[in-house]
Amino acid sequence: MPRWWKARHGQAPGTYTLSSLSKYAEDLFGELLNEAHSFSFRVNSLQERVDRLSISVTQLDPKEEELSLQDITMKGFGSSTIQDQQLLTACAHPTAGDLPDLASSMPVSTSSALQVWILSFRY
């Protein structure tokens, strides 16, 4: 075999590994960028709400705006923002490869047919 053939084909597995790592890093940093944008949006929204509240509070005159504690507690609060209650990120969800591990950790009282079905993915 020629020397150039050995050099070119000997480097192929390393090149493939580096390519895979590059793709993984690109995906990872893409997710981080999306999370950072989402976090920035929520912080900016919260800052706007605090600014509006601060302006409202500074415009109050304690002599003119005398309210009883009962009047204050009776006022409702209307939120104008959408609440984000995401508990899990996409990477925290189990994948198909995790199914056999999940099935083997299920209690005995769980349906055995479900365990058999999930364990069938192992082979």
The secondary structure of the chain in percent helix, strand, coil, rounded to multiples of 5, reads 70, 0, 30
Q: Say whether pLDDT at 90 is over 60.
A: no
For residues 43 and 83, the model is more confident at 43
Cα gap 63→56, rounded to integer Å: 15
The dihedral through the CA atoms of 22, 28, 31, 33 has a sign that is negative
- Return the higher-pLDDT residue of 95 and 34: 34
Distance CA 54, CA 40 (A): 21
pLDDT at 123 over 50: no
**pLDDT digits 0-9 by tens, 16-74:** 677 788 888 888 999 999 999 999 999 999 999 999 988 888 887 766 666 666 666 65
List the domain boundaries for the chain.
1-63, 93-123
Q: Can you tell me the distance from the alpha carbon of 33 to that of 25, in angstroms, rounded to the nearest whole number? A: 12
Are 87 and 78 in contact by the 8 Å Cβ rule? The answer is: no
Residue 96 has pLDDT above 80, yes or no: no
Q: Which residue has the tokens 């929520």?
A: 42
| pLDDT score, position 44 | 94
The mean of the pLDDT values for the chain is 71
Altogether, the residues listed in the chain come to a count of 123
